[in-house]
Amino acid sequence: MKPERFETWLTVDGKGLYCRPGGFHIDPYGGAKRAVVTHGHSDHARPGHARVLATRETLAVMTTRLGAAATKGTQAAAYGEKISIGDVTVTLFPAGHVLGSAQVLIEWKGARVVVSGDYKRGADPTCPAFELVPCDLFITEATFALPVFQHGDAREQVAKLLRSHGQFPERAHVVGAYGLGKSQRVIALLREAGYERPIYLHGALAECCALYESFGVRLGPLKSATGAKREEMRGEIVLAPPSAIADRWSRRLPDPVTAFASGWMRVRARARQQGVELPLVISDHADWGELTATIAETGAEEIWVTHGREDALLHHIQTTGRKGRALALVGREDEDQ
Ligand SMILES: [Zn+2]
Ligand SMILES: [Zn+2]
């Protein structure tokens, strides 16, 4: 029997990507009957679904960020656990993006489809590493899908932060880092590098850090920057959401060195424009090399691109003899801000 074309059973409707024989959406906009959620970032995990399947960690993130009402009717899946939904089998695999992040394997009539969610291949002490899942159709993100994006080793960027910290003992170092994932990764990398001093946190980051610790991720001594006196933070490292580093909030810090941990820091103009003195190229998304290598390693003959800079990637997919398609899902932000 000729296998059915993927477009006939994986469709895009007003709520996003829909698996017809399974009767569920993946990372839908609010109000889906049944949702499989890849991870807790707000452009993927939205409130208002009747039923949600996700990892235990992602469900905990959703409860923390969206409130208990957002996650009624939930079902937790362990990585590797096979779950029947409608006529398909769904299995979650680590995506290496943030705590609890998962790729979704959908098996139907002998066909294997993997939806990557957001992912990266680089080491991250705060979540299990990306697991390669062979498939026929790979549906990938494309946040950093331009050859200019080569993230390199995050540990070198943290070493750069520590060198600056050693060089300017009279100044505070304020590091802008996304609240879920990036800030905990920066802290864990600092600890790996042997930095054991208390790290000061903007209030907006405390909740996610506590959540990571409740899942056994060691972050070491953390202190609230809100309650700290100005002089106390001299010579210390302070983490804050990106929006706070250029804001009045950071004026309370003693002569701060402004750093920003993001894949976008590869673009110098962007760092300059945002007034970042110490750009740190640390991303939780696959860079160009990781995207193209992963596409090849999955063995998939067909590649769909969900969100990001799809043009260059589609061109690459076609030149390597695969079939490519842009899904152009709306409402996905450049979350790695
Ligand atoms: Zn994400
Ligand atoms: Zn995303």
Q: Does the reported pTM lie above 0.85?
A: yes
The structure tokens listed for 282 are 């640390």
Q: Ligand nearest 307 Cα, by number?
A: 2
Ligand 1 centroid from CA 232, angstroms: 34
Separation CA 53–CA 19 (nearest Å):
14
Q: Ligand nearest 306 Cα, by number?
A: 2
Which of 282, 285, 259 lies closest to 186, judged by CA? 282
Q: pLDDT value at position 336?
A: 52
Q: Which long-range contacts (CB under 8 A, 24 or more apart) does 18-24 make?
A: 19/86, 19/88, 19/106, 19/108, 21/86, 21/87, 21/88, 21/108, 22/85, 22/86, 22/87, 22/88, 22/90, 22/106, 22/108, 23/85, 23/86, 24/53, 24/85, 24/86
Ligand 1 centroid from CA 92, angstroms: 16
Q: pLDDT value at position 98?
A: 98
Q: pLDDT value at position 194?
A: 98
Provide the strand spans (E) within the chain: 10-13, 16-19, 24-26, 34-36, 51-54, 74-76, 82-85, 88-94, 102-108, 111-115, 137-142, 173-176, 199-201, 222-224, 237-240, 257-261, 278-280, 302-308, 323-326
Q: pLDDT value at position 267?
A: 92
Ligand 2 centroid from CA 127, angstroms: 17
Separation CA 295–CA 300 (nearest Å):
7
Q: pLDDT value at position 337?
A: 43
Separation CA 4–CA 111 (nearest Å):
9
**Phi/psi at 208 (5° precision):** -65, -35
Ligand 1 centroid from CA 143, angstroms: 10
Separation CA 240–CA 337 (nearest Å):
12
State which residues have CB under 5 angstroms from ligand 1, the bound ion. Answer: 41, 118
Ligand 1 centroid from CA 199, angstroms: 24
Separation CA 260–CA 246 (nearest Å):
11
Per-residue model confidence as pLDDT tens for the chain (337 residues):
556 799 999 999 999 999 999 999 999 998 899 999 999 999 999 999 999 999 999 999 999 998 877 767 999 999 999 999 999 999 999 999 999 999 999 999 999 999 999 999 999 999 999 999 999 999 999 999 999 999 999 999 999 999 999 999 999 999 999 999 999 999 999 999 999 999 999 999 999 999 999 999 999 999 999 989 999 999 999 999 999 998 889 888 999 999 999 999 999 999 999 899 999 999 999 999 999 999 999 999 999 999 778 899 999 999 999 999 999 776 665 555 4
Residue with tokens 């960690």: 57
Ligand 1 centroid from CA 219, angstroms: 21
Which residue type occupies 237? I
Q: pLDDT value at position 3?
A: 67
Gyration radius of the chain's alpha carbons: 20
Q: From residue 154, how far is each of 143, 164, 326, 336 by CA, in Å? A: 18, 16, 30, 15
